[in-house]
Amino acid sequence: MSLRARVMLMTVGLVAAVALTLILVELHTLISVSLQHSHDRARMTAQFVKRYVLDRAQQRSRESARIITLDQRIAEWHDALRDDAELPDLLASTLAQTPAIVEISVADGRGIILASSNPARTGQLVRPRLPLKNLLDLGPIDKFQAVLGSQIDYENRVELGVEAPGDSPRRHVVFLIQVLVSSVLLRGAILPEVRRTALASLPLFLLAVAIASLTAQVALLPLKGISQTIDRIRSGEANPVPEPPSSRELAVIQEKLRLLGEQFRGAQQGASQLRTSVERMVQGLEESLLLFDSQGRLIVSSEAAERLLGLSRAEISGLRIHDLFPPEGPVGTLLAPALLTRTPLKEARAGRLLVSFDPLPQGAALLRLRDAEGRRLVEDQLSLSSRLAAISRLTSGVAHEIKNPLNSIALRLELLRSRVLPELPEAQPELDIIAQEIVRLDRVVRTFLDFTRPVELQTEDLDLAALARRLLDLVRPEAARQGVHIEAGGLDQPAPVRADSGLLQQALLNVLRNALEAMPSGGKLSVRLDKRGQNAELEISDTGPGIPPEFREKVFHLYYTTKQNGTGIGLAMTYRAVQLHNGAIEIGGQPGSGAQVRIRLPLAPEAAA
């Protein structure tokens, strides 16, 4: 998924989440208001019944003029309500006025029902229920579940009592009024309102998502242009800025990017020419080696010697030195006295060749031939390197010029953030994306400056095995998340080298991370360290798709990458770091069976000895 798509998805998702939260808050408020209304109606109903019961009790007290005890008076009140034929009808009519109420009962102090809206309940005990106020005190999620999912009744209870005679603090409960509210009826009354509110909020939700999508697209337009310009520079296009920008700051950046692209393209072409010339020079300076036995017969020859003689190895194998270089030729004339006396020669001139002859024990001899014209080629390449260094200095200057408008944009962005966010907090994601893109562009410029700037090594004594173990511990959590098994070999034996710790650590870490990225679905990462002569050889292999032979030389080029989101910088930095340490790096392995990266570094003098 592209950066633009990720930003769009994140922005729209954030706005959708906020809008959905507001809708849920509105629904919770609606449910709370409905529940509060039902609670108030139940409380008013209980108070109405209470007033009626008090009136009936007071009326019976006035009708009975004789002096009786409190218990007799309470029994007289109970009889009055039990014999009241109007009370059940009153309770039934009151029940019909409030849809959520399912039952109204009046009981004595012991909980025996005296009168009820449900005549079948008369004479039974009052069954305790959860207070309706507890439903109001629940949290939002529990309240949703209780209203929309439960099937229980809640009560609103009112007690009427009298004080005991004398100094006793005991209070007699005379009447108990219970109003039952059904959650099923509450749900039937609340759900239509919830449904209407949700349907009314849906268009607003879709409108908010559409506005967020449009805002994100508008905010990303300048950064999209900068990103496309950088991609065009990296691909080497002749005109990396095809359209004029919309603001002055972006115009300055894109103009600097255009200049940087021109200089970088020129430097890239010069570097390519330099690499081709150096390869040709190496081929011209490649030493021809011929090894003869005690009988003067050729037993070993290098490819350069075969090219020099114009014969294949099968054709020259077993020939004597006089057959290859007749005495009348320039090389034969030079070798004749040396062969006779077995005296060594050191780069004696024979035409355009430099000839070296080394007698070996037991009558063997080694003949080395080298092109004398290599000195002139080296001088030409040094001249070309000087010109490329001048281009590199100019390119570095252009990169420095880009950092100034970048800093200006960053400062203005922070000023915009302080002014806009208090009034428009939803702009936070867009401003964050702009800041991230500015940081990415600054990192690209700094990376280019670091690559073109001369490096001064801060060498120290290091243990390559300990460094490899430390880096494996660093990447082990990431490997475990990807299902990659790590195998190590030879890391228990010290391998002392003289190296820049930070530079070498970054170089090895780049290779390890590339190996992990090649195995997103799991595999095996192998790291093996061996000592070969005066060198330490570190081999890092994976079980990924491997690197085809035609790409193995290009992967060390700056900004060349085969990964979709790669930068083409990591292996170029690794190649330079290894070269600065007088080492070598090469890529092997079979395509489809994983890649092998071998890094050779010279051992410290005391270890090599």
pLDDT in tens, 507-533: 898 889 888 988 888 999 999 999 888
Alpha-carbon distance of 48 to 50, in angstroms, equals: 5
Q: Report pLDDT for 530.
A: 92
167: pLDDT strictly greater than 70:
no
Q: Report pLDDT for 242.
A: 54
345: pLDDT strictly greater than 70:
yes
* Distance spanning both ends of the chain, measured CA to CA: 54
Beta partners for residue 290, in sequence order: 301, 367
Q: Are strands 130-131 and 153-163 parallel, antiparallel or unpaired?
A: parallel
Q: Report pLDDT for 146.
A: 78
Q: Are strands 298-301 and 130-131 parallel, antiparallel or unpaired?
A: unpaired
Q: Report pLDDT for 489.
A: 92
Confidence of residue 488 (pLDDT cuts 50, 70, 90): very high
Q: Report pLDDT for 163.
A: 65
The dihedral formed by the CA atoms of 483, 485, 486 and 489, expressed in degrees to the nearest 10 = -170
Q: Which domains does the chain have, with CATH numbers?
A: 3-200 (no CATH), 236-277+377-452 (no CATH), 288-372 (3.30.450.20), 459-608 (3.30.565.10)
Alpha-carbon distance of 606 to 609, in angstroms, equals: 5
Q: Report pLDDT for 347.
A: 79
Q: Report pLDDT for 202.
A: 83
Residue range 59-102, pLDDT digits in tens = 777 776 565 677 777 787 887 788 788 888 888 888 777 778 88
240: pLDDT strictly greater than 60:
no
282: pLDDT strictly greater than 50:
no
Q: Give the residue among 554, 553, 525 at the shortest CA–CA distance from 539.
A: 525
Confidence of residue 384 (pLDDT cuts 50, 70, 90): very low
Mean pLDDT to the nearest integer, 414-431: 80
Contacts of 61 (CB under 8 A, 6+ apart): 73, 76, 77
Across the chain, mean pLDDT equals 77
Confidence of residue 444 (pLDDT cuts 50, 70, 90): low
399: pLDDT strictly greater than 70:
no
Mean pLDDT to the nearest integer, 240-268: 62
23: pLDDT strictly greater than 80:
yes
> CB of 198 within 8 A of CB of 408?
no
Confidence of residue 187 (pLDDT cuts 50, 70, 90): confident
Q: What is the pTM of this model?
A: 0.36
The DSSP output letter for 425 is: G
Residue range 559-596, pLDDT digits in tens = 656 665 656 667 777 887 888 888 888 888 877 788 88
204: pLDDT strictly greater than 70:
yes
> CB of 196 within 8 A of CB of 110?
no
Q: Report pLDDT for 377.
A: 47
> CB of 133 within 8 A of CB of 142?
no
463: pLDDT strictly greater than 80:
yes
